[in-house]
Every structure is written in C-alpha cells, then in structure tokens.
C-alpha cells in the first residue's frame, strides 16, 4: 500500500522540462475574457499535507496564459514567481 501512496505523490520535473500537468494545458481552451485581459488562469491547485513530524507542507500549482507582453503583467504576480512566455 505504501508503494501506491508514493506513486501518487508529485515528483519534481526534470530540469528544463515542465511537469506533465502543465504540458496537458497547452491545448486547453481559454476561459471567457474580454480583449483587455492581460492573463488568464488555466489551472490552480492547492495541496496541504501534514508531515509525520506534524509540520504542514503546502504545494501550490498555478498556470497562467499570458495574453499581453510579460512586462505589462509583471506587477500582478509576486516577485518570486517567474513569468515566462
């Protein structure tokens, strides 16, 4: 049973490659938006786990489709989030 639990845990992506869940979004249809929209949220997931030592571990996954130039939306994201096109 432990094997199956470990198989379901997210694994880090190989350097230089996006994770599979992100690749799946490449052909996703965009949510409704107007022509002035700079970016749309395609995917959002938050996982909160309690580790054996009692500490909480949080994993946030977000994928945005940038519709405008990255410079125009840079202020909308935290500085630690990398914006790439």
- Kindly list the domain boundaries of the chain, sorted by start residue: 36-85
Q: Where is 4: in which H helix or E strand?
A: helix 2-8
Sorted by sequence, the CB contacts under 8 Å of residue 41 that are 6+ apart come out as 31, 62, 63, 64
pTM: 0.56
Could you tell me if 37 and 65 are in contact, meaning their C-beta atoms sit under 8 angstroms apart? no
Question: Among all chains, which residue has been given the structure tokens 């395609």?
Answer: 42
The answer to whether 41 and 78 are in contact (CB under 8 A) is no
pLDDT computed for residue 85 by the predictor: 46
* Segment 13-61, tens digit of pLDDT: 555 778 888 888 888 888 888 888 888 889 899 999 999 999 999 998 8
**CA-CA distance, 25 to 20, in Å (whole number)?**
9
């Amino acid at each position: 049973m432990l094997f199956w639990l470990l198989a379901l845990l997210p694994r880090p992506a190989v350097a230089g490659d996006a994770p599979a869940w992100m690749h799946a979004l490449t052909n996703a249809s965009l949510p409704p938006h107007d022509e002035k929209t700079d970016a749309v949220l395609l995917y959002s997931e938050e996982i909160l786990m309690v580790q054996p030592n009692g500490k909480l571990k949080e994993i946030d996954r977000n994928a945005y489709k940038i519709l405008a130039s990255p410079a125009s939306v840079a202020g909308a994201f935290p500085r630690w989030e990398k914006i790439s096109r």
